[in-house]
Structures are given as C-alpha cells and as structure tokens.
Copies of this chain bind each other. A is one copy, B any other.
Amino acid sequence: MTVPADAAIVTVGTELVRGLAVDTNTSEIARALAAVGIDVREAVSVADDADSLVAHLRRCTASYDLVVVTGGLGPTHDDVTREAAAAALGISMCRDRRIESGLAAVAARHSDPRAAEQVFVQADVLDGARVLDAVLGTAPGQVVPTTRGELVLLPGPPREMRPLLEAYLSGRPSGPAAPAVLHCAGVSESDLQMAAQDVLGGRSDIELTVLAAPGDVRVVLFDRGAGSTELAAVSASIAERIGESCYSTDGRSLAQVVLDRARVARVTVATAESCTGGLVAGALTEVPGSSAVYVGGAVTYSDDLKTTLLGVDPALLRTFGAVSDAVAMAMASGARDVTGAGLAVSVTGIAGPEGGTAGKPVGTVWFGVAGAEGVRAEMRRFGGDRHFVRERAVMTALDLLRRALRAG
C-alpha cells in the first residue's frame, strides 16, 4: 500500500465500555504510529459484540488509511474480532495449517477437551492476510489489505500486542520530528502556557499543548513543519525560560533525574516515609539500576516505629505531633544517620480521609531534607482525596531531592 497518512485505533472488549478496565493499548499504539508519521484521528472502544464491531470496522476502514484493532483474537467464545473483520471486508477465512500445528502443544495442556478444541480457532486467517506470528501468548496478528490501506489485527494483552506492533512497523521511515516534551514540577499549568506561548509567538510550524497530571506538568511541542533542529532550539529556549522548574527534556521521569543527579554528585539517597507509605521508595526503585544510588529507608507508619527505626525523639512527637516540621526534620536526619546515605528525604502528613484537625487539615504534609549542609523542612497543603494527596506528596518529595542535588 502507499504510505498511510491517517489511522484509527479500535480496541475491542466489553470490559472497556463497561468501565471494568482502562485501555492502555490506545496510548501505546498512538505513540508508535506518531513516531512513523501516522496521524491517529480517532480511537474507539467497542464491546465484544460482532454486529457493532462490524459496523465500526466498515466505517473506519472506509475513512482511514490504517485501522489497528486490538483484542478479541483469543480462543474464547467472546473473541469475535476475526469473524467481524471478515464480515466487514466481505472476505472469508481459512485455517492456517502451520499455525494450527504450532498450537497443538498448547491445546494438549488443557485437561478440558472443550478448551483444547477452542485453541485452534486462533489459526483462522483472513484470505489475503499476512500473519504476524505470536511472540508471547498464542494469538497471531493479521495484516489485511483494505481499499484505502490496511487493517491490522493485534491481540489485546499489552505484552502480546507490543512485539507484533513492533514487527508491523519495523522498517518504516520515521515521520516528522518526535514531539519535544518538557517535564516540569512546582509550577502552574497557566504559567507554563504563557511562558511557552511568549517564546513561540504566532508561529504555526510548532503546535503547543500543556498537559497537567498531579505534580507533573508537561509542555509538549509538535513538529508541524519546523523540523527537528528548529524544534529542539525552541524547546531549549522554553526550557531556559522556565528554569529549574523544568526537570527533564529527554523523557526522563522525576525519579530518574533524582537518581542521575545523585550519581553525578556521588551522593547516596535514603527515604523516610509516613503518609506516602513507601511510594517515594517505590518510585525511585522503579528505575532500573537505582540500587547504585538508592540505599533504602524506612516506612514508619506508627509513631513508635519513627522512634525505633529512625531515632525520632518521643518528646518531639508528643510536643509537636507526627505531622510537624520538627518530626519531618528528625525523620530525615534519622534516615540519613541510620542508612549512612548522603541525602535523605522524609514525608509525614495527613492523607485523609480521617485524621485532619482545624490546625492541620487533611492534605497537610511536612517534608524534611537532610544532607551534608544540614536539615530543613517544607510544608505543602494539597487538595483532593487520599490517593491524590499521596501522589502529590510523592512528586514533591522527589522534587525536593532533585533541587537539593542541584544545590549540592
């Protein structure tokens, strides 16, 4: 086919339209298609219902060069994608002997003969389709020619989908420059928008979007004809204008930046967590190779453990309460002492829904940072529910570590 310019993504699964699962395939496929210059125009989720799927596949294959479908390729009765695709395109299917023999071992593992027989439906291939052999799991992908371009059927589980999508896209020349993304923390969405717009002026060859998530605001610049060199230059100008609040322009997460800065500064890092209950540690250790810098820490949910594990003076807890600058600093210092790390951050706050008072309402969080230069405390008051308060507190703790490592 000619190079496809636009695409639709169709995700199939009753769980998606009933709210029992969140679709992550769309996001992943959209990024992969954007990287080769294909513009995704719509992403639609539909139930495991053959009639409805046939209608959407007809509409999408008639409207877009490329239609990528995930889900409904498994062996069970509600896997209807193969049949729906055949019906939508008016073509038939036949059982592929090679795939069938590959599935024999899988079928043999089932003690139930019904389940064993069902396995083989995954060998049904649409006429004229190119098969993308399964890498994980058992369902192969299929690439079917359409009047406008191609229809690509991929399995639903992200781990099975991913290698087949890569196989399908491999060898394609890349499209426009990848979007430039500036990750920022500790700054408002509207301030970022204004800063970026002032640098951009009225130019139309770069498109601006500002995206906000808890504690992580992103400025995204799309190439609309500017080219990669110009996009990089503009991105650098905006980053300079934003200053230290922009923590990465190369896709690194806040945790990655903390670990990288610590590695360069030859400083080890520790954590002492109360209300975030291990999530700051969890974010740092999500990064491969974090063990070179991050030594560990304590989750001191009870007051007693703050004393036992971190040596917080019980008098401080009695006098100021667990959520206080004094205890935050004692936790950070204690974590630094007990772990021998160069830099430690502490978090102690009221995530809710219970535990708030007039003076310390839900959302009040104290942070401590202990390093070679001493120890200090900062307070934030976050809105939102327990989950949101914890999420914001994790990002703030990481950002305090990052800023401390800049200064250090």
Contact = CB atoms under 8 A, between A and B. Distances in A.
20 contacts: A16-B26, A20-B179, A20-B211, A20-B220, A22-B22, A22-B26, A42-B45, A42-B46, A112-B194, A115-B193, A276-B282, A277-B290, A278-B280, A286-B390, A288-B353, A288-B354, A288-B386, A296-B298, A305-B339, A309-B309
A168 interface: no
Interface stretch (A28-36, A92-100, A230-238, A242-250): A28-36
Interface of A: 9, 14-24, 26-32, 34, 40-47, 52, 56, 76, 78, 110, 112, 115, 136, 157, 159, 179, 181, 190, 193-194, 209, 211-213, 218, 220, 222, 271, 273, 275-282, 284-286, 288-291, 294-302, 304-305, 308-309, 338-340, 352-354, 383-384, 386-388, 390
Contacts of A42: 17, 44-46, 52, 56
A278 B290 contact: no
Classify the secondary structure of A's interface with B. Answer: mixed
A132 to B, nearest CB: 20
Copies of this subunit: 2
Contacts of A308: 338-340
A284 B42 CA distance: 38
A9, A30, A222: residue with the most chain B Cβ atoms closer than 10 Å: A30
A286 B194 contact: no
A29, A181, A211, A213: residue with the most chain B Cβ atoms closer than 10 Å: A211
A36 to B, nearest CB: 13
A20, A41, A52: residue with the most chain B Cβ atoms closer than 10 Å: A20
A300 B305 contact: no
Contact of A34 (B18, B46, B179, B276): B18
A319 to B, nearest CB: 20
Nearest to A24: B22
B43 A44 contact: yes
Contact of A302 (B32, B286, B296, B354): B296
Contacts of A16: 26-27, 30, 43
B45 A17 contact: no
A216 to B, nearest CB: 11
Nearest to A212: B157
B41 A17 contact: yes
Contact of A209 (B15, B290, B384): B15
Nearest to A197: B114
A139 to B, nearest CB: 14
A291 B296 contact: no
B354 A289 contact: yes
Given A45-B43, A271-B299, A304 B209 contact: no
Contacts of A52: 41-42
Contacts of A297: 278, 298-299
Nearest to A353: B288
A151 to B, nearest CB: 18
